[in-house]
Amino acid sequence: MIAIIVCIAVKVAIFAGISSVRGHGNFVKPAVVFTDGYVMNGFSATLDNEIWGVYNHDKYGHGVNATLTFFINVFRFKGYNSLGALIVENQEVVDAGVDAECGRTVFKESQRSKLPASELEFSGFTHPGPCEIWCDQAKVVFAYDCQTEYPGVPAKIPYDHAKCVHANRMTIYWLALHGDPWQVYTNCAWLQEGKGRGLPPVVKGQSTLTKGGSSKLALAITPSRTIEKIALEIDGKLKGEDDVLKETTEPPSVEIISAKCMRRRE
């Protein structure tokens, strides 16, 4: 009887471990190479969820949708021209095995990946939060909530193929907002047309904006107003206010586009 109970407990633990592993995300196409011995799709860094202070629950409400609304409202006015810049400047890697540029993914010249023809694949955006994809220094994808924008498993992500044809490296940043602190997922895929490790899309201290004002926008998420609609509404409300944010430096060829893994011990 004891042996049977132990066996059942082990099976439950294994199942729970598998479920938790599947609960996160990583690049599928293009393929990536991971550091040996680590969970492939675990988060590689964290970001302080109070980096911009404790948000006003009376204004934003409670729960992850409230956090997402807060992020959408505040992000553009906090001095970053990309999600990657926010992450690179403020992330705390979870252990010494993490590459600040590429998370748990590693460069191997002999294992370069083919560039997908029209859609990228990510194993799944299982938590709300923004994501951003770059080909070298060209931003090709951004969404404020990739779980809503790309809900499939795996997630199918249309992208600007022409900007990536001769790229060396593709980088994805995903910031999951469901917990405290926020979780950072970064993957790098080295492509067949490139050579060498190359440069990251964002370098710490390289890309900043000068803040000259603030926003009082507070747009609630409702069933009739999707995340993308909210982001587009923000863009519309901000027209004429772009002079508030003045660029000082930015990575070569960066396009500022508006709205439209910690080794886990299970």
Q: What is the 3-state secondary structure (H, E, C) of 157-187?
A: EECCHHHHCCCCEEEEEEEECCCCCEEEEEE
Mean confidence (pLDDT) of the chain: 77
The CA-CA-CA angle for residues 24, 10, 39, to 5°, reads: 25
Beta strand 92-93 with 45-47 is antiparallel
Question: Has residue 262 been placed in a domain?
Answer: no
Q: Give the whole-angstrom CA distance, residue 230 versus residue 258.
A: 12
Question: Has residue 265 been placed in a domain?
Answer: no
pLDDT digits (tens, 9 = 90+) for 21-60: 333 689 999 999 998 766 666 899 999 999 999 989 899 9
The predicted structure's pLDDT at residue 207: 56
% of the chain exceeding 70 in pLDDT: 67
Question: Has residue 73 been placed in a domain?
Answer: yes
Question: Has residue 78 been placed in a domain?
Answer: yes
Question: Has residue 20 been placed in a domain?
Answer: no
The predicted structure's pLDDT at residue 214: 37
Look up residue 116 and give its two tokens.
Answer: 């997908």
Question: Has residue 225 been placed in a domain?
Answer: yes
* pLDDT mean over 75-94: 93
Q: Give the whole-angstrom CA distance, residue 47 versus residue 93.
A: 9
% of the chain exceeding 90 in pLDDT: 59
Q: Give the whole-angstrom CA distance, residue 131 versus residue 105.
A: 17
Question: Has residue 200 been placed in a domain?
Answer: yes
Question: Has residue 173 been placed in a domain?
Answer: yes
pLDDT digits (tens, 9 = 90+) for 102-125: 999 999 999 999 999 999 999 999
Q: Which domain holds residue 245?
A: 26-249
Structurally, how many domains does the chain consist of? 1
The predicted structure's pLDDT at residue 205: 78
